[in-house]
Amino acid sequence: MPKLLLAAAQTRPVRASVSALPISRKMVRRFIAGPDAESALQVTKSLREQDLSVTLDVLGEDVTDRAQAAATAAAYRSLLVSLKEHGLADRAEVSVKLSALGQALGPDGYQIAMENAFSVAAAASEAGTTMTLDMEDHTTIDSTLGILAELRAQYPWVGAVLQAALYRTEGDCRDLATAGSRIRLVKGAYAEPASVAHPAKADVDAAYRRCMEILFSGEGHPMIATHDLALVAEACATANRLGRTRDSWELQMLYGIRTDEQLSLAKAGVDVRVYLPFGTDWYGYYIRRLAERPANMLFLLRHLNG
Ligand code: FDA
């Protein structure tokens, strides 16, 4: 079902009708802080007041020219300056999609994305915070992990996302569960072929458990990113069993999903980080959130027809 929904979302009529929704609409704002850095800073402040950490995403992906990629990097750098100025950088970092920094721009894409990513990492270092590389579809993984390795040689706190749905990920977890390594484990939001990813949800969940065990047993900093409360409970139990201190791992959820649980877990003493996107290029992100839960998509379709 999610695969079909993601495919339908790429058709012109659906994209045109959904993109025409103003960002001010409650159904879009549920998942997105707002159109600009100012709205994101305001939400970050209020989440921080509720004892939640934040990772900020400047929305955008698959840029088609160098200038756009450079503009995205500049937006991140300016955001990082603002986080420092507002005294938020101790609990707020940034999440970056390399496709937004130029990764897909032909044979030079790798180099362009890496240079842009280095400039964002330098700004994160200056602000006293960290940065994490989001993971996109499976064709980008080798390139993203390559850039991660180059960044980590200078900035060892740069983290990355690994997707449990992919067969390769247990191996990647083993390779990256090393001292200082920040790995955000997710199930995977992209429609992937059965040649590279588990087609059945139960198999993805089982793989997630195995990956979680590898990360917790290693020396890195696991970032367990899921709204699946059974997995959240297992993460807390595993952290306890292995004697992990509060600052040696974290739970992460997306803004607008399971908000009550985010707050109650933070109250219970767990470090909870909220992934907070903002910007005007929200279509791809928004559709993936809808596709994760068919009820969300049906709500939208009813609304568009109504
Ligand atoms: P699952 O899909 O099984 O959901 C468990 C429960 O959570 C559902 O039953 C529902 O109640 C609730 N829920 C989940 N999604 C919802 C939604 N959209 N709306 C309403 N309720 C919902 N993926 C990726 O491929 N690359 C990436 O870089 C990232 N980055 C990322 C960062 C963070 C912090 C998170 C939390 C997630 C990602 N993801 C991601 C997305 C991830 O791969 C996955 O698609 C979603 O987290 C949904 O999977 P769950 O683990 O929540 O489980």
Pick the CATH number of 37-281 from 3.20.20.220, 3.20.20.10, 3.90.1170.50, 3.40.190.10: 3.20.20.220
Contact 249, 222 (CB under 8 A): yes
Task: Please write the tens of the pLDDT for every residue from 177-221.
Answer: 999 999 999 999 999 999 999 999 999 999 999 999 999 999 999
Q: Quote the ipTM score.
A: 0.98
Catalytic residue flag (residue 134): yes
Question: In angstroms, what is the span from residue 153 Cα to ligand 1's centroid?
Answer: 30
Confidence of residue 18 (pLDDT cuts 50, 70, 90): confident
Minimum-distance ligand 1 atom for the alpha carbon of 225: 36
Q: Which two tokens stand for residue 293?
A: 């839960």
Q: Give the residue-averaged pLDDT of 297-304.
A: 70
What distance in angstroms lies between residue 186's CA and the mean position of ligand 1's atoms?
A: 7
Q: Which atom of ligand 1 is nearest to the CA of 55?
A: 34
**Lowest mean pLDDT segment, chosen from 53-57, 62-66, 83-87, 114-118:** 62-66
Q: Is the model's pLDDT at 159 over the cut of 80?
A: yes
Average pLDDT, the chain: 93
Q: Which atom of ligand 1 lies nearest, measured to the CA of 187?
A: 43
| Residue in the structure block whose two tokens are 């939640």 | 52
Place 2 in a pLDDT band, splitting at 50, 70 and 90.
low
What share of the chain in percent tops pLDDT 70? 95
What's the 188 CA to ligand 1 centre distance in angstroms?
Answer: 8
Distance CA 62, CA 284 (A): 10
- The domain ranges of the chain are 1-32+282-306, 37-281
pLDDT of res. 7: 75
Q: Is pLDDT above 80 for 24? A: no
Task: Kindly report, residue by residue over 227-266, the tens digit of the pLDDT.
Answer: 999 999 999 999 999 999 999 999 999 999 999 999 999 9
For 71, how many CA atoms within 13 A lie in the half-sphere containing its CB?
10
Tens of pLDDT, residue by residue over 101-142, are: 999 999 999 999 999 999 999 999 999 999 999 999 999 999
Pocket test for ligand 1, best of 53, 93, 130, 187 (most atoms within 8 A of CB): 187
Pocket of ligand 1 (CB under 6 A): 134-135, 161, 163, 184, 186-190, 225-228, 252-254, 257, 275, 289, 292-293, 296
Q: Which of 48, 77, 134, 281 is catalytic?
A: 134
For the record, the structure tokens of 251 come out as 């739970």
In this predicted model, which residue has the larger pLDDT, 171 or 12? 171
Return the pLDDT at 19: 73
pLDDT at 290: 85
Q: Which atom of ligand 1 is nearest to the CA of 163?
A: 25
Amino acid at 44: T
Residue burial 219-256, b: 16+ Cβ < 10 Å; e: rest: ebbbbbbbbeeebbebbbebbeeeebeeeebbbbbbbb
What distance in angstroms lies between residue 292's CA and the mean position of ligand 1's atoms?
A: 7
